[in-house]
Amino acid sequence: MATNENLPPNVIKQLAKELKNLDESPPEGIKVGVNDDDFSIIYADIEGPAGTPYENGVFRMKLLLSRDFPHSPPKGYFLTKIFHPNIATNGEICVNTLKKDWNPSLGLRHILIVVRCLLIEPFPESALNEQAGKMLLENYEEYAKHARLYTGIHAKPKPKFKTGAISESTTALNVDQTNSSALNADQKITAPGAALPVISASPSPLAPITVTRGNGQDQPAAVAPVETGVSGCAASAAATTTTLRKEGGLAKAQADKKKIDARKKSLKRL
């Protein structure tokens, strides 16, 4: 499950909300995925826009978020090799939105849309790939040829992100945060060294309950034996049956004695 120790709780909360929104309503041509072990790494598959040399390609990129996001912009990298003026050979992305034009109010959705628009309209004036930038300015057809070649070789459709993975991750993350908050609250309420009494979860009906005190000594609690459940009912029924049998036997003996006395009186008269 996600640990996300690289980001503070307030950033995680905002990020989980944005990721869920992107999962439920993804931007056109963009699908987002997450790293379950670290939410500071966001993945996205970007479809090459129609009418560009990147058409029919799928380009995977990642965004690296810092601990003070969104006050500072994330860093963007293309993991798929691409021939583009504003994307370096190591995948680094040069776009003003991630640099001087960054604003904390901008979210992940805006960043991803801007990067996809960069595939439609490159800016050779601020090129990280000088060859691609120069080629775009001097011979567009040659530039488009190179870009299509890279697309055909490297930008083949990627295995799709698991459907609902973001929702599962953010749900698990929220549950984890809730459990952590509850644990912290319990730790604050319980004073150090003051252990709470521990009582057996399901004591035997006839066994004395033992209470563990804070000093580590076991003391028996005075509890009267209690008969419960089916066993108690069976014992009561058995006792009642025994009593009835005794009473019946006594009545029969008294009747027999009366008969014998009556016979003796008859014999005396004769």
Task: Give, in order, the Cα–Cα distances in Å from 226 to each of 136, 190, 223.
Answer: 91, 33, 8
Residues 67 and 15: their CA atoms lie apart, in Å, by 12
* 158-179: burial string, b at 16+ Cβ within 10 Å, e else: eeebeeeebebbbeebeeeeee
Task: Give the position of tokens 């960043």.
Answer: 111
C-beta neighbour count of 86 within 10 angstroms: 23
Question: Hey, is 87 helix, strand or coil?
Answer: strand
Whole-number Å distance between alpha carbons of 50 and 28:
12
Catalytic-labelled residue, pool 93, 94, 132, 135 = 94
CB contact set of 45 (below 8 Å; sequence gap of 6+): 30, 31, 33, 58, 59, 60, 158, 160, 161
Which two three-digit tokens encode residue 211?
């209470």
d(Cα 119, Cα 47) in Å, to the nearest integer? 10
Active-site residue flag, 233: no
Enzyme catalytic residues: 94
